[in-house]
Chain A
């Protein structure tokens, strides 16, 4: 069970759109539509932003959207805002009751 692969960092200017990728295998991302995304600010607990690839929890802005193609899931943030800066993690169900996280991506709003 290996960690999902995310880019270490991405950046964008306010108002722009950015996309963070999350690459797994046919044992996790590729098989299950159970990919989630979390936002984490320094010193805080992660916050669920997307679940089941593209669903929004209550209260999360629709500027955040998720998708999946094959073994790679993606999180897109449109209309980038300063408050979006932070770390983003993907996760995927990996079968047999297990779950795996990605290594995390640091988003910088320029």
Chain B
């Protein structure tokens, strides 16, 4: 069974760049059958889709975050990453990585999530 694991700093200063990595285990990120995604959840709030990436590097972003988001993939390490620039307290959230179906319509496997706090 494929597993996903997020990693990265739990504390980021305002105006800096948030960087997280998702490691895919027991499966290949290059399988071609899936997209890979980042999703966040503000404390006590709902889910917010951030973006998709395909193993080839093709990306799709949430229009509301597009100007600050970069998602990249490293097939040699079986990882994909998130960078969110110019962060503010409003970016404090649990960040999940997830595997998405080919249709980019559903997420069948999720990481456990990692809490990122933006604070000086």
Contacts and interface: CB of A to CB of B under 8 A. Distances in A.
Number of contact residues on A: which range applies?
A: 20 to 34
A103 B106 contact: no
Interface residues of B, number: 23
Contacts of B61: 98
Interface in A29-76: 32, 34-36, 38, 45-48, 51-52, 57
Contacts of A92: 105
Interface in B94-112: 96, 101, 103-108, 110-112
Contacts of A48: 106-108
Given A1-B62, A45-B96, A101 B49 contact: yes
A2 to B, nearest CB: 10
Contacts of A103: 46
A93 B104 contact: yes
Contacts of B96: 45-46
B47 interface: yes
Contacts of A52: 103, 105-106
Contacts of B106: 34, 36, 48, 51-52, 91
A97 B105 contact: no
A30 B64 CA distance: 22
Contacts of B80: none
A47 to B, nearest CB: 8
14 contacts: A1-B64, A32-B105, A45-B111, A48-B107, A57-B108, A91-B49, A96-B60, A98-B62, A98-B63, A99-B52, A101-B48, A102-B46, A103-B46, A104-B46
Interface of B: 45-49, 52, 60-64, 96, 101, 103-108, 110-113
